[in-house]
Structure 1
Amino acid sequence: MAPADPRDRSPLPAGVISDADHDPVRPAGRTVRDRVIDAACFLLAVGVTMLALVDGLAQHIAPVPLAVDLVLGSLCCLGVWLRRRWPVGLAVVAGVVGVYATSASGAALVALFTVAVHRRFAVVARIAAGYALVPFLTLLVRPDVPVGPWSQIVLGVAFALAVLAWGMFVRARRQSLRERARRVKAEQELRVAEARQGERNRIAREMHDVLAHRLSLLSLHAGALELRPDAAPEEVARAAGVVRDSAYQALEDLREVIGVLRAGVNRPDETPEGPQPTLADLPDLVDQSRRAGMTVRLDCQTDALAAVPAVVGRSAYRIVQEGLTNARKHAPDAEVAVTVQATPGDGVTVEIRNPCPGSTGTVGIPGAGMGLIGLTERATLAGGRLEHGPTPAGDFRLWAWLPSPIV
């Protein structure tokens, strides 16, 4: 049996605070079960003492040695109530007293069982070895006590070994339960950490979409200022204001992304919060693109969209946002048609169309090339599907369907 680690601070069985070899085992709010067990051990020790008294009377032992034997045995029986606090001390005292007082054998067996439960095998082995010498020492100290038959000696040894094995089994079982509880707790903490990290990753992806949208607006306005240096001062001032606001918002979004990522290191118990747009925010998203110079036509059913669950609405919002960002990157002068429909019992359909960019020599805004892949993953995880690509009519079509339990 492996020794217990003194540094282990895992919870111990009821009624035990410490299981280290050098620490006392103190009662920690004893339960009714603990008190019942203690009472049973006390009664067992008292019963063995009474049997020893009856056996002594039957063997006509002198009254004085028999009275001393009974008093010592009774004191050891009272010491059984301290077995949880000082198991090794009780075992040593009971063993020493048992050399003279045979009536203390019941208390000695209870102490041996307690040591086997609460102490390491090295300590138990020393106590058991000392107990093995007690019968031989008794023959030297108490010549007035007759030696019993061999069958009785063998039965006593077998009973002591059974008590010792039972105590070691109880200890092994408690250690197994404690280790199982430790594993369950570790697995629970791992699942919580994974869930927390997954939430941070999700929020980081959300912020990535927002940040990409902000930066594309910023790049578009900066490009307009570069291409029209002779614009009216009012237009330049308005465009510069939009650039300033977009840059500020982009910095705020970036700061929030960094805060989300740092939360896993600096604030593990803090739940990060991020923007949670829904389909109700689509008009504002389209207005932002229109203020950036895009031509966007929005067709959506306001009443039906209000019944869409927030999770589905957020995914649809991100699909529209990424579609507008891609259109602004690759076809900045094209008209974009956005159609969002919600059919009760069917789901939410999102479609973004814009003419495919021609060979106009326009330098598009560079992208990471992962937007459509992320949208496909988002739609798949939501139980829907996403399609994208050119159409025979010469348009680029981004289409997605998301299941929605609309009532």
Structure 2
Amino acid sequence: MKSDIKAEGAQIQKAYLSLFSGIGGLEHPSIPPVLFCEQDAECHVVIKGRELNRDITIHNDIRDLHVPPLASFVVGGWPCQDISSAGKQVGLSGNRSGLFFDMLRVAVASGAHTIIGENVPNLLTLKGGADFEAAKLAVRNYGFNHISWRILSAREFGLPQDRNRLFIVASKHPSHALALHCDIPPHSAHKETPEVHGFYWTGGKRSICYSTGYVPALKVGATDNRGRGTVAVFDGRIARKLTVAENLALQGFSDIPISGMAPSTLLRMAGNAVAKPVGQFVVSSVMNACPPSGMRSGFSLRSSSGYFDSEVEWAIDHKPSYLASNLGDFLEPGKHQPLSAQASAGLIVRSVRSATPMPTELFDVLYRQSLDRGGKIHPSRGDSLAAFTEMLPKIVEYRNKLGGMAKWGGN
């Protein structure tokens, strides 16, 4: 009888709930949660496709999760739409990002001693930091008095993607909160591929985030919300969209089969996910209470990495990590379709209208692709091909300002 109680106690000690589970980036690498909570039925298919998860219940909606299983940890990357700089920035008062408070409610109901949250870095500075302070106060009201936070990049974990995310740990035990500040393990992605570049093909009104050796952060398409991939790559010869498999690989999900689901569904899942090696590092480090390595460098100073305890907020400094720039290793070999004439022309038109510069070699390839009108033309809110033709004198002027030739005539 005593051994049964002891075994049950040990099981609860390792137990955690996964909320806003998505396709499973914020998890322990070898221990499944006692419960998943995820609204997207298509994500359920991916979750259940892993042998480790087949017997785990998936709850659909956190808002009606009132009697969760007992757990020591609750993890979740709650919705960022109301916090992101790309949205209306209403913060935690928004219907979607306000689900943070449901995550806190579930954590209290489960008896958890530690909460692990993930969101966008903008939470630290939104409304002058007021929402971050509100979150800190909310968790402290329930006894989670030890709070750590840290911005981590996917590039620090061997993924050549400029994806920065804020991780927050609120715990009743300082050892678990401080574990967020342990050393990042070394990765093997020290090879650089400077001949491969990444950029947003849907950009142009502002920076296209042109990057060498890595891509800008993957995200769900902002214009039609159908999950189209917004990132393209350029190798000096063609500019093309990332494939579905490449999108998943850049998030650490090469194990997800791409057959049987619509490409737009898989792209949406990849864009919304927590990068797998980053999420696994955070969850396993916190659950194991790994010893911290960061140095306290100042107090009462908001930093991208910090710790709050006993009414004092500390900035935490970490030694720099090697940032992956091996994008070429993540690209599928073989022949790929370039960006369509419509997409290439649209990027040029937006860039010319906003006077946003781009590398000369990229412009020249996009221009050539804009002239290849043999592909299918899709309906769009603005006719980029017509605008391209009408704006040709301005396009020539824009190209000449980019430099690289004495005079360019568009030939």
Normalised to the residue count of structure 1, the TM-score between the two structures is: 0.20
Structure 1 or 2: more strand by fraction = 2
Using the size of structure 2 for normalisation, the TM-score is: 0.20
Bigger Cα Rg? 1
Q: Which has the higher contact order (CA 8 A, sep 6+)?
A: 2
Q: Identify, as 1 or 2, the structure richer in helix.
A: 1
